[in-house]
């Protein structure tokens, strides 16, 4: 891409120590149906210690026409990396993708069409996320556990809804106006954490209200590779717990009264969901499905309740609890 050209849309791909995944996701981005001059690919190396930079340089040599830029963010954390990416974007629009994903060939074209054709112009556009598997999935594991969809028909999101981080896009000015991603949320290395994108959506909904228009299109498809460690009960429940912890942190925007309602609501919901889970135990039903489907809300409310009490827990993605502290 000539130095003087300015793309319409910038793709931000943040990565940490996953050099082996980069050729796949970049091949999908380079092969987009959108003309090459219309987009750029910004790869943010987030303090990797593997051969991430070497792999990227090799791809740039192999595909010299690919509109790829490599940036380095030394502070570990997905929020830091995404902020580095969008703040260096040249495009009017910024789309985000994860390093374990593969976009449909027309992904960027669909996103860009939504921004340019819809009136009023959306602030954000997102799409469907479909799981794919490199390794055989367990017989009990359902695609629904890792599928993100907002329906089969295009629509504007309802107030409070938000897109998932590996298939979302914004007008760049919107991200800048609301301060980007909160670096207290999101993955940090191999530490399991969530909600940096949810926090941004929550902040925009809180400050902009009904003016914030987010458009969902099922035609902007992202394929998300599911690692075998995610196809376990322990991971699914840890993720549920951490989502509850994150939701407590996001509640800091709320009034004291609303925080009190959330606190006592968490207690009530924890008791209610626990009773429901026990009542739904069925003989012959796979206990793993029961655990994921019935204990997920229990663990989420448990994480929120403990966070309200000042107890924060930290998990590594592939291991057990690392540390516990009270704030």
pLDDT given for residue 263 in this prediction: 83
Using an 8 Å Cβ cutoff, are 315 and 238 in contact? yes
- Distance between CA 100 and CA 20 in Å, rounded? 10
Q: How far apart are CA 155 and CA 300, in angstroms?
A: 28
Q: How many CB atoms lie within 10 A of CB 143?
A: 12
Bridge partners, residue 10, by sequence: 40, 94
- As a whole number of angstroms, the distance between CA 223 and CA 32 comes to 14
List, for residues 99-131, the tens digit of each pLDDT value.
999 999 999 999 999 999 999 999 999 999 999
pLDDT digits (tens, 9 = 90+) for 212-267: 999 999 999 999 999 999 999 999 999 999 888 888 877 765 667 777 888 888 89
Cα-only R_g, the chain? 20
Q: What is the pLDDT of residue 147?
A: 96
- Which stretches in the chain have pLDDT values below 70? 1-4, 186, 193-194, 252-255, 318-327
Q: How many CB atoms lie within 10 A of CB 36?
A: 14
Residue 268: C-alpha distances to residues 248, 255, 259, 261, 273 (Å): 15, 20, 14, 10, 9
Which residues lie across from 127 on neighbouring strands? 217
Provide the pLDDT for residue 325. Answer: 40
DSSP 78: H
Taking the C-alpha atoms of residue 210 and residue 204, their distance in angstroms, rounded to an integer, is 10
- Residue 321: per-residue pLDDT: 39
d(Cα 159, Cα 173) in Å, to the nearest integer?
A: 20
SS (H, E, C) 13-67: EEECCCHHHHHHHHHHHHCCCCCHHHEEEEEEECCCCCCHHHHHHHHHHHCCCCC
pLDDT number for residue 195:
74
**pLDDT at residue number 66:** 87
pLDDT at position 252 is 67
If phi > 0 it is left, if psi is from -120 to 50 it is alpha, else beta; for residue 225 that is: beta
Q: Which CATH number fits domain 9-230: 3.90.550.10, 3.40.640.10, 1.10.238.10, 3.30.465.10?
A: 3.90.550.10
Our CA angle for 325, 326, 327, nearest 5°, is: 120
241 with 299: CB under 8 angstroms?
yes
**With contact defined as beta carbons under 8 Å apart, do 36 and 121 qualify?**
no
Beta carbons of 85 and 71 less than 8 angstroms apart: yes
Q: Which residues contact 63 (CB under 8 A, 6 or more apart)?
A: 30
DSSP code at position 158: P
CA dist., res. 81 & res. 181, Å (int): 9
Alpha carbon distance 158, 42 (integer Å): 30
3-state DSSP assignment of residue 321: strand
């Amino acid at each position: 891409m000539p130095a003087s050209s300015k793309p319409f849309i910038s793709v931000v791909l943040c990565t940490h120590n996953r050099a082996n995944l980069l050729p796949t996701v970049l091949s999908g981005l380079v092969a987009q149906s959108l003309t090459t001059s219309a987009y750029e690919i910004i790869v943010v190396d987030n303090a990797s210690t593997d051969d991430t930079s070497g792999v990227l340089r090799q791809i740039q040599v192999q595909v010299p026409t690919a509109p790829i830029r490599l940036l380095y963010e030394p502070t570990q954390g997905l929020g830091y990396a995404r902020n580095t990416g969008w703040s260096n974007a040249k495009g009017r629009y910024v789309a985000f993708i994860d390093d374990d994903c593969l976009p449909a060939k027309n992904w960027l074209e669909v996103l860009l069409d939504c921004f340019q054709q819809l009136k009023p112009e959306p602030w954000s556009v997102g799409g469907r996320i479909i799981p794919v598997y490199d390794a055989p999935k367990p017989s009990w594991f359902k695609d629904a556990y890792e599928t993100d969809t907002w329906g089969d028909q295009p629509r504007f999101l309802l107030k409070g809804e938000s897109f998932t981080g590996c298939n979302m896009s914004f007008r760049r000015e919107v991200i800048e106006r609301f301060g980007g991603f909160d670096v207290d949320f999101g993955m940090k290395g191999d530490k399991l954490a969530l909600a940096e994108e949810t926090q941004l959506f929550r902040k925009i909904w809180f400050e902009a209200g009904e003016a914030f228009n987010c458009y969902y299109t099922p035609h902007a498809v992202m394929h998300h590779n599911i690692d075998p460690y995610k196809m376990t009960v322990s991971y699914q429940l840890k993720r549920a717990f951490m989502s509850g912890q994150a939701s407590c942190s996001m509640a800091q925007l709320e009034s004291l009264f609303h925080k009190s309602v959330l606190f006592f609501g968490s207690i009530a919901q924890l008791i209610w969901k626990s009773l429901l889970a026990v009542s739904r135990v069925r003989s012959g039903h796979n206990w793993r499905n029961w655990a994921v489907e019935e204990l997920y809300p229990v663990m989420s409310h448990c994480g929120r309740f403990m966070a309200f009490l000042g107890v924060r827990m930290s998990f590594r993605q592939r291991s057990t609890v690392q540390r516990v502290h009270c704030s």
